[in-house]
Structure 1
Amino acid sequence: MIYLRLIAESFRFAWQALSSNVLRTVLSLLGVTIGIFAIISVFTLVDSLERNVRESMSFIGDKVIYVQKWPWSFGPGTPWWKYFQRPEPTIREFRLLDRRLANDAGLAITSQRSNNVFKHGNNSYSNATLMGVTYEYNKVSDIPIIEGRYFAPQEIDAARNVMIIGDEAAETLYPYGSPIGQELKVAGQKFTIIGLIEKQGENMFGMPNLDQMAIIPYGSFSKMFDTGPNGIGSSIIAKGRDDDPGLMELEYELRGHMRTIRGLRPRDEDSFAMNRPEMATEAVSGFFEVIGMAGWVIGGFAILVGGFGIANIMFVSVKERTNIIGIQKSLGAKNFFILFQFLFESVFLSLIGGGIGLLLVFLLTVIPQDIMKVSLSLGNITLGLGVSAVIGMLSGIIPAVLASNLDPVVAIRSK
Structure 2
Amino acid sequence: MSRASPVEIIRFAAGAILAHPLRSGLTSLGVVIGVASVVMMTSIGMGAQKQVTDTISGLGSNLIIVTPKQPRSSGGVMAGAGAGQGLSDSDAEAIRRQVDGAAAVAPSVGGIAQVTAEGANWSTTIYGVSPEYPETRDLVIAAGRMFDDRDARQGRKVAVLGPTVVSQLWGETDPIGKRIRIRGAPFEVIGVLGSKGQSSFGRDQDDLVLAPLEAVRSRVIGRQIRADSVQTIFVKAESEEVLGEVQERIDTLLRSEHRIPQGEDDDFETQNLASILDASRTAIGAFTVLLSAIAGISLVVGGVGIMNIMLVAVTERTREIGLRMALGARRRDVLTQFALESVALSLVGGLIGLGIGLLGAAGIAAIGNWPFALPVWAIPVALSFSSLVGLVFGAYPAWRAARLDPIEALRRE
Change (3 A) 1:235 1:344: farther
Change (3 A) 1:176 1:350: same
1:334-390 deviations in Å (ceiling 9; x for gaps) = 655544443333222122222222212322344444632334443443443244233
Matches within 5 A, 1:175-186: 175-177=171-173, 179=175, 183-186=179-182
Q: Which runs of 5+ in 1 are unaligned?
A: 73-82
- Counterpart of 1:393 in structure 2 is 391
Determine whether 1:91 maps to 2:86: no
**Contact 2:117-2:179 within 8 A present in 1 as well:** yes
- Counterpart of 1:374 in structure 2 is 372
Change (3 A) 1:302 1:265: closer
- Counterpart of 1:243 in structure 2 is 241
Alignment counterpart, residue 136 of structure 2, candidates 136, 140, 154: 140
Counterpart code for 1:392: G
**Which TM-score applies when normalising by structure 1?**
0.77
Change (3 A) 1:249 1:291: closer
**Contact 1:135-1:156 within 8 A present in 2 as well:** no
Counterpart-to-counterpart distance in 2, 1:156 and 1:314: 82
Counterpart code for 1:211: D
Change (3 A) 1:322 1:163: farther
Q: Report the Cα offset of residue 69 of structure 1.
A: 0.7
- Counterpart of 1:76 in structure 2 is none
Change (3 A) 1:87 1:202: closer
- Counterpart of 1:343 in structure 2 is 339
Q: Which runs of 5+ in 2 are unaligned?
A: 72-80
Q: Report the Cα offset of residue 24 of structure 1.
A: 0.8
Determine whether 1:214 maps to 2:212: no
Change (3 A) 1:349 1:216: farther
Matches within 5 A, 1:5-404: 6=6, 11-70=10-69, 87-104=85-102, 106-126=103-123, 128-143=124-139, 147-148=142-143, 151=146, 153=148, 161-177=157-173, 179=175, 183-187=179-183, 188-192=185-189, 194-201=191-198, 203-204=200-201, 208-224=203-219, 225=221, 228=226, 231=229, 233-239=231-237, 241-244=239-242, 247-266=243-262, 269-277=265-273, 278-279=275-276, 282=279, 286=283, 289-290=286-287, 293-294=290-291, 296-297=293-294, 299-300=295-296, 302-322=298-318, 325=321, 335-367=331-363, 368-369=366-367, 371-404=369-402
Counterpart code for 2:379: I
Q: Report the Cα offset of residue 294 of structure 1.
A: 4.7
Change (3 A) 1:114 1:281: farther
Change (3 A) 1:116 1:359: same
Counting matched residue pairs gives: 392
Change (3 A) 1:155 1:404: farther
Q: Report the Cα offset of residue 251 of structure 1.
A: 2.6
Q: Secondary structure at the match of 2:138?
A: coil
Counterpart-to-counterpart distance in 1, 2:160 and 2:379: 42
Q: Secondary structure at the match of 2:32?
A: helix
- Counterpart of 1:75 in structure 2 is none
**Contact 2:35-2:357 within 8 A present in 1 as well:** no
Counterpart-to-counterpart distance in 2, 1:109 and 1:13: 75
**Contact 1:88-1:229 within 8 A present in 2 as well:** no
**Contact 1:111-1:132 within 8 A present in 2 as well:** yes
**Contact 1:87-1:271 within 8 A present in 2 as well:** no
1:208-238 deviations in Å (ceiling 9; x for gaps) = 4413223334454345346647745132424
Change (3 A) 1:14 1:276: farther
Q: Report the Cα offset of residue 26 of structure 1.
A: 1.2
Q: Secondary structure at the match of 1:243?
A: helix
Identity %: 24
Q: Report the Cα offset of residue 170 of structure 1.
A: 3.2
RMSD: 3.8
Counterpart code for 1:170: V
Q: Secondary structure at the match of 2:206?
A: helix
Counterpart code for 1:169: V
Change (3 A) 1:222 1:21: same
Q: Secondary structure at the match of 1:210?
A: coil
**Contact 2:50-2:371 within 8 A present in 1 as well:** no
